[in-house]
Structure 1
C-alpha cells in the first residue's frame, strides 16, 4: 500500500512537471492545491523536477537502478532552463534601462536643429531651412530639384558624386538665374545614379526639435517645429 501511494505521488508530480513545461494547468482544485508546482518560473520547474527525481530514486528497481549519467544529464538540462530564465530577466532589465536612457538623451535634444525625412522647405528673407538627401549607396549625378507651390522647378542643385549615407546640403534660396526666391514654402525632390541605375533618394529637411513623446515600444518620437512627428531613429543628422 505504501509503495502504491508513493508511485501515485510520483505520477502526480510527473503530471505537474508536464503541465509546467507545457504552460497548462489541471482542474481548478488541482491548480489551487499545487499552485507552486504549476508555476512557470524556472525555480518552480527545478523544484518539481527534483521532487520527481527523488520519487524515482525511492521507487527504482534495485536490480536495474537509474544510470547516474542520465541523472547528471537531466540535472544539467534543468540548470540550463534556469540559466536561460535568469538571462531573460537580466536582458529585460537591461532593455528597460536602455529605454530610459534613450528617452533622457532625446529630451536633451529639445531645441536642436536636425535633418529628418521631409520635402517641404521654408524660405524667408533670403534664408531657407536646411536640406539634405539619404543615399543607399555611392552615387553620381546627384541632383536636388526645388519646386514652387505651382510645381515648377525654380532651381536645380547639382551635388555631383556623393558617398553613401546622409548628405547635408547648404544652399542659398535663389532661382536658376540667381535671383532670391520669394518667401514661401517650396518642395524638393532628388535624383541620382546608384550602381548604374537611376534612383530617387529620400530627401531631408531641417527643423527644430520642440518636444519628445515616449512610445509604448520604448522608442521615443520627437515633435518637430515644422509640425511633423517622427521616430527618433528617423533623425538623420543633428546640425
Structure 2
C-alpha cells in the first residue's frame, strides 16, 4: 500500500504516531477492525491532500481497497480455520471415547503372562511387505534367554500390513513359562530378502485425555502413558 510522504507527514499526529509507538515495543497491530480504520484514515487524508492538477488514479484507490480487503479476508480465514480445528478436536475426542475399555495394538515388543500362567496378552506384527518366512522369538528380557521360537508362516505366506497373534504361554518344551513380561522379536524374509517387521504390543484403553493443542489422547495406563489415535495400529 503506497501513500505520498507529504500526506503521511500531515496525518503524523494521529495514526502514524500510534504505529511508531507500538513499533518501538516490537508489536504489530493485526486487529482487522483497527487496520481497516487506519486504512480509511490514511485514504481520506490522501484524497483530501492530493494535487488537484495530478489527482490519484481511480485504479490506485481500487488497488489499495483490495489490499485492505485481502488483509481482512486472511484474518477471517484464520478465524474460520481455528473454528474448524476446534470442531475436529471435539470429533476426535468423541471417537476416542468409543475405545475406552477396548484392547488395541501399539508399537512395542512385550507380551504379558498373567497370574494363572495361562492368560497371555496378544501381540501383533506390522509387515512392510509380503513375507514367506516369519519367525517369532519369545525371550526373557531379564536374562535374554530364549523361551520359545516358532514359524508363523508354516501354513502359508503372510500378507503385508498389521496382523495379531497369540502365544500360548509355553516354552519350546511345552511347559508353562510362568507369569511375567516377555520380549517378542520378529524376523521376516521374502524369497530370502529381509522384510521390515515391527512388533506390536497389547494395551487397554483406560480413558481419554486432551493434549496441549486440544487433540484427543488415549490413556494406556502407567506403563505406556498416552497415545494419539494415529498410534493405534489395530483395535482388538
- Normalising TM by the smaller chain, what interval? 0.7 to 0.9
Q: Deviation of residue 166 (structure 1)? A: 2.2
* TM-score, length of structure 2 as denominator length: 0.78
Structure 1 contact 117–203 (Cα < 8 Å) conserved: yes
Q: Deviations over 1:171-218 (max 9, x none)?
A: 433333444433332111222348986355332111211222322122
Q: How does 1:36-55 map to 2 (within 5 A)?
A: 39-55=29-45
Residue 182, structure 1, aligned to residue 178, structure 2: yes
Structure 2 contact 110–123 (Cα < 8 Å) conserved: no
Structure 1 contact 123–173 (Cα < 8 Å) conserved: yes
Name stretches of at least 5 consecutive residues in structure 2 with no aligned partner: 1-5
Q: Which residue of 2 aligns with 1:32?
A: none
Distance 1:44 1:172 in 2: 70
Residue 229, structure 1, aligned to residue 219, structure 2: no
Residue 209, structure 1, aligned to residue 201, structure 2: no
Q: How does 1:140-219 map to 2 (within 5 A)?
A: 140=131, 141-148=133-140, 149-160=142-153, 161-193=157-189, 198=194, 201-219=197-215
Structure 2 contact 205–221 (Cα < 8 Å) conserved: yes
Q: Deviation of residue 59 (structure 1)? A: 0.8
Go from structure 1 to structure 2 and tell me whether the alpha carbon gap of 1:156 and 1:70 turns closer, same or farther (over 3 Å shift): farther
Q: Deviations over 1:17-75 (max 9, x none)?
A: 9x49xxx71579xxxxxxxxx74211211221121111111111112111111211121
Go from structure 1 to structure 2 and tell me whether the alpha carbon gap of 1:7 and 1:151 turns closer, same or farther (over 3 Å shift): closer
Q: Which residue of 1 aligns with 2:55?
A: 65
Deviates more, 1:47-56 or 1:137-146: 137-146
Go from structure 1 to structure 2 and tell me whether the alpha carbon gap of 1:121 and 1:235 turns closer, same or farther (over 3 Å shift): same
Q: Deviation of residue 83 (structure 1)? A: 0.8
Q: CA RMSD in A?
A: 3.1
Go from structure 1 to structure 2 and tell me whether the alpha carbon gap of 1:92 and 1:16 turns closer, same or farther (over 3 Å shift): farther
Give the number of the structure with larger relative contact order, counting CA–CA contacts within 8 Å between residues 6 or more apart. 2
Corresponding pairs, count: 221
Distance 1:7 1:81 in 2: 21
SS at match of 1:129: coil
SS at match of 1:25: helix
* TM-score, length of structure 1 as denominator length: 0.77
SS at match of 1:222: strand
